[in-house]
Structure 1
Amino acid sequence: MGKVCILTEKPSVAKNIADALKIKGKKDGYYEGNDYIITWAFGHLLQLYDAKDYEPEMKTWKMENFPFIPEKFRYKVKTNPSNRNLKDAGAEKQLKTIYSLFKRSDVDAIISACDYDREGQIIGDTIIYHLKLNKPIFRLLLNEWTPEEVLKGLKNLKRNDELKPLRDAGISRQWSDWVIGINLTSVATLKYQKGKGQALNIGRVLLPTLKIVYDRDQEIKNFVPENYFKLTATFKTLANELYQGVYIEEKEEKFKDPSYLQTIQQALQGKLSKIIDKQIEHKKEYPPFLFNLTNLQGTITSKYKGWTSDKVLKVAQSLYEKKYITYPRTASVVLEESLVGKAQKVLENLKKGHPYENEITFKKSKRIFDNSKVESHSAIIPTYLIPKSLTKDEEIVYEAIKNRFLAQFMPIAEHEETRILTKAEGIPGVFYTQGKVQMIEGWKKIEQIESKDKVLPFVKINDPVEIVHHELTTHVTKPPKHHTEKTLLRVMETCGKNFQDEESEEMLSSILSGFSIGTPATRAETIKKLKDIGYITVKDKSLLCTELGKRLVETFPVPELFDLEFTGRLEKTLADIEKQKHRREDFLEIIFDFTKKAVEKIKTDRDVTIHEIDTTKKEKESFGNCPLCGYAVIEGQKGYGCSNWKNGCKFVIWKNDKFLAALKKKPTKTMVKALLKNGIVHVKGLTGKNGKKFDAFLRYEKNPENDYFSWKMEFAKQKDLKDER
């Protein structure tokens, strides 16, 4: 019996599998044991051909060359991010390693262990099928990388052919985005942009997301505030206790006409009042559902400053690869029923020594376990492995996931709601009062939600009360708020459907049907890209449309690409391809036809400039010489880097440098100049872990084993050096 070669999506996952199989033998690009060889990709090692790879005349963008749709889509080694004309050397080397392992005569079978999703499927399949192998190919489908699950998964492999619908959906997404992106970006840039520079990005998911932000901005801009008025009265009970009530007529408490309320006010003078109704309702408050990716991103970005949905996904992915949480790119908020035993084991591990250990009790409920509400992946929960050490960011995300999981098994919170109606003699309406008292805090203790009690005095129906004060107040209607990442993600997830209740059945079924903009895995990337290409900007936590974004929405002549329904239908079709309800060929035919018509529309559209690039070259200030190659160090958008970067020089001091950020500092121009001149800089006002300020000398030194640099801190006195504040 020969060996089996396992291909994973990332080195960290390969290590997890090697650990589970107790394989210690690490070679260059793979692990090898008695029965298994485990190798890895770095995400996509292969990418689709660029247009110029198919046809030499596509090297320069000319209107007459579009629409361009290849007869057969082809793949190549991914390109170097710094120079697209060169292959990525790391990717090429790893591909050679993978293929040499696949071809080995002692390897009898291949297992793809890439992530269990559309993208993971095509990452594995493009690599495996690029090489014409006559060996059986299997698929390892896991939701977490703990040793227990890895060993169990290896005993329950599927034939990779069974995953063809997932591959078809992945390829449909990849090819359609390539065709729309290449054609419409090229033609739009030629048509609407003056000057050379960054292209005018057009994308299937990009534009409807931009339109959501644009629409909200316009709503706020066109909002006309209106005055309204409220009448509040203060009543005194027989026991001399006070309470307030708001005047309502036919369930309306906001009045446009103040003179009417003034008439009511005058009529209140000296009137007898009494309690005409009292309702006490005991209400149960269930914990919010378990996290899917969108809810996790929304919760973290709205709670913590400086977090983006993209950052939440990266941190969650890191926790997943470290085996501490289950697969994060999920749309589900419940667990499969088969996970009851596993969830119980996780709960027993997590509750040990917890402050509320005695209140945490396992239960099997439909709110937590329900197959009908799970699509591909269950909700995100912790695994049975308890983290020993986490970074600050990982701790924030892990604690949120852990607490949401524990909350499901805490007592249900309960409160008592009291509603009182007070009637003044001869007045048409009534005064409405509401009170609330938390009876059982339950799960709210874990989620740290403070209940605000409003205790009302004890009264009975028909009790007389005295009006001691009344007041007419003026209010102004407020415009809607700008979108935040949380609200934008929610609109993308539900394709613009406005669900009042975030946990409604309609909302869950809408999400599960695949009718959305993008997928949980791509939404964060879309928002980040909109910021990076300058279509939207961020102010505090608000997302705002830039002038460029606004002009694009108002000018670009392909309305379907801004239409949430259109994009939602395309995403739904991709989900249906996974379920074998739709054919890949039919979907691609629709996309190709749409692209051809869109290109013609742009070509025949009126000539107008959406984006003008300033082509006058500005001489960049030099901060000193690069310690690696001697070229000038200049300021870029994200850091101070070597001007020779196009030729591969890696020297850079990032503006958001993690080491400095931990000390509550950002690199300044003065600091960079001093560092490059003297090799050392004196920095004042650094902040330690204890919050105390201190001064230190910093060096930025090259690591001996690679071209990257690390900070070194010194406290020795150095004369002749100027301070940097």
Structure 2
Amino acid sequence: MGKTLIIAEKPSVATDIARVLGGFTKHADYFESDQYVLSSAVGHLLELVVPEQYEVKRGKWSFANLPIIPPHFDLNPIEKTEARLKLLTKLIKRKDVDSLINACDAGREGELIFRYIIRHVGTNKPVRRLWLQSMTPASIREGFNKLLDDDAVQPLAEAAVSRSEADWLVGINGTRAMTAFNSQEGGFHKTPVGRVQTPTLTILTEREDAIKKFVPRDYWEVHGEFAASNGKYNGRWFDEKFAKNKADGEQKAERLWDQKEAEAIRIKCQGKRGAVNEESKPATEICPLLYDLTSLQRDANGRFGFSAKMTLGLAQALYEKHKVLTYPRTDSRALPEDYLGTVKETLSSLTKSRYGIFAKQVLKEDWVKPNKRIFNNAKISDHFAIIPTSLEPKVLSEVEAKLYDLVTKRFLAIFFPAAEFLVTTRITRVENEPFKTEGKVMINPGWQVVYGREVQARGAEDESALIKLNPGEGVLAEEIKVISSQTRPPARFNEATLLSAMESAGKLVEDEDLREAMSAKGLGTPATRASIIEGLVAENYLQREGRELRPTAKAFSLMTLLRGLKVPELTSPELTGDWEFKLRQIEQGKLKRNKFMEEIAGMTGHIVEQAKTHRGETISGDFSTLKSPCPKCGGVVQETYKKYQCQKCDFALWKILAGRQFETEEMEQLITEREVGPLQGFRSKMGRLFNANVKLTDEFEMKFDFGADSDEEAGGGIDFSGQEPLGKCPRCGGRVFDHGMSYACEKAIGSVRTCDFKIGKIILARPLEREQAAKLLRTGKTDLLQKFISKKGRPFSAYLVIGKDGKVGFEFEPRDSKTKPAPTAAQNKSVKPKAKSVSPKKIASGKTK
């Protein structure tokens, strides 16, 4: 009897399967037993390429060679994982292996990884599918007892391949066409676009446009303080005849747009008696739905500031490594209808944890019952909602514990009854002018008890509670005030609000159930949205400012180009959301793959044709006028699609230099001060990123400055007279000055150097402010600095410190890796943080690890 080869997506999953099934002997990168051979991929091992006979060897970026729509695609091994592919090929071709089990992650991308492997090998051996929702031993055993036939997942495989090919066609053709358009006048200006990435950028740029164009409007509110026998309360004037105006969302019942009208109400009511009418109604609030990945990312960003990428990584670790959460890459917020027993088992395991009081109550009250809001097969696609498993977390990091807590509390709270409130609306009428006061008192916390809410005593001192009035009691308008205010622009997107917008294809939907209904036509999938956002940041289309996401000048230029070329396929979130909906239909067997790919090919051809047709034309747009006058003639400098151009003389500066586009503020500084920087994101001809200052020469040309002055190159010293030093050099006692790309000791510059102390102005993608550099020299330590980016692309915070040897290093805040309560202030004093010393040369260059 032959053996069955099991292929998992990652080595850790293969190890878990081997442990659960038992009887395996470990070999190099695979396991073997009497029945199975078991190995894994390491993520994607192959990538799409155009067949050699159709690929253009030269002039790939030329309009003459576009569009490129091959009749089929070939697969190329990804170089860094080629050894693993060779191993799997060898195992698949073994004569004693007569069948395969696809144990890659249960979803579109996992299916794609496996399909590409067997297509590359060219095997026809029968395949079955292991479909795991959880990585617990019980779930793995159950999965092997219920293996799916390969036919059952064929529609998913077709959707996976269609997604991959569609993204290649649109991304490659669109990027090459836009790059060709932008490079017509010389140079190579790479302009990446994508089927999902670019419409997402549209959402951000449209919001930023609305912020820039927003004109604040003055309005006034009338607030009253009313005295009664039991105390005082406040009320706000409102228009009882107010009706919502969809065309003007700034109109509200309590706003007055004429100050004189507001003052008239104040004068009319001040010191007068008023009559009160009061109505109390019970109200309830149900627990939000269970988490899918997007709602979990949204909450984790709002509460903890986690990026979507970070949340996905943590959830994946809690699923795969710790096995305490179910599969996280899900778009479902319900559980299977036959899952009541599993839920009760999970609750029983939680009774022994710190959540025990709530788990015991749910079981004791028998609240786990059939409920279509929680248990609903119709609301489940590939995977169900994210919930905790029956395994107890052993050792979690602080951030893992926070995410686990979010999921577990939501899981518990969903079974509790609704929270109950008594909502009181009090109308105080003075001289026939109405003032509204609202109070809300919790009668029964219901599900909110899981989050620490308790019942409020009636009449308790709380902002939401109202003082009691005696029956028929009148009140005195003791003080009436007119409060002036202004309308505010819409808020800039953060990751939480952007994820919501992507989920509903650009429509910001507050209602949770409605947003869930629209998610079928969202941009991307829960599993891909994090990488889409990260891709936009990596391409410098987006910058993170605190928790906000701000589109760059490069992003606006791309939007201007695409609108000028009239390609709504790449700018319309709704249209692109429709493509995602069709991929879902392929998964469900409701749409043929070839029909979808025909539409994608048509879309691709249209994008390229529009770029070709508009060659040589000027792209019009909403461009800015610089505040700085032309340095050559004093004329007005106007932004165009590609330049900042004087309207009076021939002075002009390109908007893009070495692959990096200047922001308007940076160009203003360059023209005014003749220097700007250091700036990040320039790219050399070899494709390497670098940082530099940019100077405007006497000939009005832009020139890179890396801090090596002509005097220094000629063998002379640097004249620092007139400059204020930042402080003393910790190595030699000399003076440290601001010089080029670094803060450098005066003895570390020039032809004769007796010191090597320099601190880079940009360290790990984070600019080091002059004030922080001065504090480092003065005290030996900066403030806690955020937004350093590690070589693996992860943001971190640290202090810069100077050691006894004068070397600069990082010092990190103490962190307990175990899930323990936060240490007290006294305990904190006893924890000495470790400093990682880094050589001055590396700190100066920003090349630290």
Deviation at 1:460, TM superposition (A): 5.7
Tell me: CA distance 1:567–1:683, structure 2 relative to 1, closer, same or farther (3 Å). Answer: closer
Map of 1:598 onto structure 2: 607
Q: Deviations over 1:224-259 (max 9, x none)?
A: 11111111222222x342112212222422111222
The one of 530, 554, 558 aligned to 2:560: 554
**1:338 partnered with 2:338:** yes
In the alignment, the residues of structure 2 paired with residue 48 and residue 384 of structure 1 have an alpha-carbon distance, to the nearest angstrom, of 40
1:239-258 map, 5 Å:
239-249=229-239, 250-251=241-242, 252-258=253-259
- Give the 3-state SS of the residue equivalent to 1:443 in structure 2: helix
In the alignment, the residues of structure 2 paired with residue 682 and residue 564 of structure 1 have an alpha-carbon distance, to the nearest angstrom, of 47
Tell me: CA distance 1:55–1:353, structure 2 relative to 1, closer, same or farther (3 Å). Answer: closer
**1:483 partnered with 2:489:** no
CA contact (8 A) 1:438 1:453 kept: no
Q: Deviations over 1:408-459 (max 9, x none)?
A: 234432221111112224x2x4221101112223332433569965221223
CA contact (8 A) 2:282 2:423 kept: yes
Map of 1:647 onto structure 2: none
Map of 1:583 onto structure 2: 592
Q: Deviations over 1:660-695 (max 9, x none)?
A: x99963678x88xx9xxx9x9685865444544758
CA contact (8 A) 2:271 2:479 kept: no
CA contact (8 A) 1:359 1:411 kept: no
Amino acid paired to 1:533: E
In the alignment, the residues of structure 1 paired with residue 498 and residue 420 of structure 2 have an alpha-carbon distance, to the nearest angstrom, of 31
Q: Deviations over 1:128-157 (max 9, x none)?
A: 232233421111111112111111111111
The one of 84, 90, 107 aligned to 1:117: 107
Map of 1:185 onto structure 2: 175
CA contact (8 A) 1:685 1:694 kept: no
TM-score by length of 2: 0.72
In the alignment, the residues of structure 2 paired with residue 310 and residue 592 of structure 1 have an alpha-carbon distance, to the nearest angstrom, of 31
The one of 638, 657, 660 aligned to 1:613: 657
Map of 2:533 onto structure 1: 527
Map of 1:363 onto structure 2: 368
Deviation at 1:405, TM superposition (A): 1.0
Amino acid paired to 1:284: T
Map of 1:263 onto structure 2: 264
Map of 1:438 onto structure 2: 442
Q: Deviations over 1:38-58 (max 9, x none)?
A: 110011111111577843524
Map of 2:771 onto structure 1: none
Map of 1:510 onto structure 2: 518
Map of 2:738 onto structure 1: none
In the alignment, the residues of structure 1 paired with residue 66 and residue 470 of structure 2 have an alpha-carbon distance, to the nearest angstrom, of 79
> Which residues of structure 1 form unaligned runs of 5+?
79-86, 625-633, 641-653, 702-723
Deviation at 1:262, TM superposition (A): 2.6
In the alignment, the residues of structure 2 paired with residue 107 and residue 541 of structure 1 have an alpha-carbon distance, to the nearest angstrom, of 52
Deviation at 1:486, TM superposition (A): 0.4
In the alignment, the residues of structure 1 paired with residue 552 and residue 765 of structure 2 have an alpha-carbon distance, to the nearest angstrom, of 23
Tell me: CA distance 1:53–1:147, structure 2 relative to 1, closer, same or farther (3 Å). Answer: farther
In the alignment, the residues of structure 2 paired with residue 635 and residue 42 of structure 1 have an alpha-carbon distance, to the nearest angstrom, of 38
Deviation at 1:283, TM superposition (A): 1.8
1:636-655 map, 5 Å:
638=764
Amino acid paired to 2:29: G
Map of 1:314 onto structure 2: 313
Amino acid paired to 1:421: I
- Give the 3-state SS of the residue equivalent to 1:57 in structure 2: coil
CA contact (8 A) 1:657 1:666 kept: no
CA contact (8 A) 1:336 1:370 kept: yes
Q: Deviations over 1:156-185 (max 9, x none)?
A: 111212211111111111111101111111
Q: Higher RCO, 1 or 2 (CA under 8 Å, sep at least 6)? A: 1
- Give the 3-state SS of the residue equivalent to 2:5 in structure 1: strand
In the alignment, the residues of structure 2 paired with residue 372 and residue 687 of structure 1 have an alpha-carbon distance, to the nearest angstrom, of 47
In the alignment, the residues of structure 1 paired with residue 52 and residue 261 of structure 2 have an alpha-carbon distance, to the nearest angstrom, of 74
1:164-563 map, 5 Å:
164-193=154-183, 199-237=190-228, 239-249=229-239, 250-251=241-242, 252-268=253-269, 271-276=272-277, 278-305=278-305, 307-322=306-321, 323-354=323-354, 356-357=357-358, 358-361=360-363, 362-364=367-369, 365-425=371-431, 427=432, 429-448=433-452, 453-459=463-469, 462-501=472-511, 503-504=512-513, 506-511=514-519, 514-556=520-562, 557=565, 558-563=567-572
- Give the 3-state SS of the residue equivalent to 1:338 in structure 2: coil
Tell me: CA distance 1:484–1:233, structure 2 relative to 1, closer, same or farther (3 Å). Answer: same
CA contact (8 A) 1:663 1:686 kept: no
- Give the 3-state SS of the residue equivalent to 1:337 in structure 2: coil
Deviation at 1:37, TM superposition (A): 1.5
Map of 1:130 onto structure 2: 120
CA contact (8 A) 1:234 1:242 kept: yes
Deviation at 1:119, TM superposition (A): 1.2
Map of 2:43 onto structure 1: 43
In the alignment, the residues of structure 1 paired with residue 788 and residue 227 of structure 2 have an alpha-carbon distance, to the nearest angstrom, of 62
Amino acid paired to 1:536: L
CA contact (8 A) 1:281 1:416 kept: yes
Tell me: CA distance 1:170–1:636, structure 2 relative to 1, closer, same or farther (3 Å). Answer: farther
Q: Which stretch of structure 1 is more off in the superposition, 346-355 or 279-288?
A: 346-355
In the alignment, the residues of structure 2 paired with residue 484 and residue 308 of structure 1 have an alpha-carbon distance, to the nearest angstrom, of 9
Q: Which stretch of structure 1 is more off in the superposition, 211-220 or 596-605?
A: 596-605
In the alignment, the residues of structure 2 paired with residue 16 and residue 221 of structure 1 have an alpha-carbon distance, to the nearest angstrom, of 53
Amino acid paired to 2:591: H
Amino acid paired to 2:327: Y
Amino acid paired to 1:598: I
Amino acid paired to 1:377: H
CA contact (8 A) 2:208 2:492 kept: yes
CA contact (8 A) 1:20 1:146 kept: no
In the alignment, the residues of structure 2 paired with residue 449 and residue 189 of structure 1 have an alpha-carbon distance, to the nearest angstrom, of 56
Amino acid paired to 1:378: F
- Give the 3-state SS of the residue equivalent to 1:467 in structure 2: strand
Deviation at 1:264, TM superposition (A): 2.7
CA contact (8 A) 1:530 1:536 kept: yes
Deviation at 1:359, TM superposition (A): 3.4
Please, what is the CA RMSD of the aligned residues?
A: 3.3
Deviation at 1:271, TM superposition (A): 4.1
- Give the 3-state SS of the residue equivalent to 2:57 in structure 1: helix
In the alignment, the residues of structure 2 paired with residue 139 and residue 656 of structure 1 have an alpha-carbon distance, to the nearest angstrom, of 39
Q: Deviations over 1:330-373 (max 9, x none)?
A: 11111111221111111111132436344344422332212222
Deviation at 1:61, TM superposition (A): 2.7
Amino acid paired to 2:308: S
Tell me: CA distance 1:10–1:696, structure 2 relative to 1, closer, same or farther (3 Å). Answer: closer
In the alignment, the residues of structure 2 paired with residue 697 and residue 163 of structure 1 have an alpha-carbon distance, to the nearest angstrom, of 52
Deviation at 1:62, TM superposition (A): 2.2
Tell me: CA distance 1:178–1:225, structure 2 relative to 1, closer, same or farther (3 Å). Answer: same
Q: Which stretch of structure 1 is more off in the superposition, 557-566 or 51-60?
A: 51-60
Tell me: CA distance 1:618–1:101, structure 2 relative to 1, closer, same or farther (3 Å). Answer: farther
The one of 144, 152, 166 aligned to 2:142: 152
In the alignment, the residues of structure 2 paired with residue 636 and residue 97 of structure 1 have an alpha-carbon distance, to the nearest angstrom, of 43
Tell me: CA distance 1:687–1:591, structure 2 relative to 1, closer, same or farther (3 Å). Answer: closer
> Which residues of structure 2 form unaligned runs of 5+?
243-252, 457-461, 620-640, 643-654, 659-683, 685-702, 708-740, 749-759, 767-786, 816-826, 840-847
In the alignment, the residues of structure 2 paired with residue 524 and residue 274 of structure 1 have an alpha-carbon distance, to the nearest angstrom, of 56
- Give the 3-state SS of the residue equivalent to 1:18 in structure 2: helix
Map of 1:643 onto structure 2: none
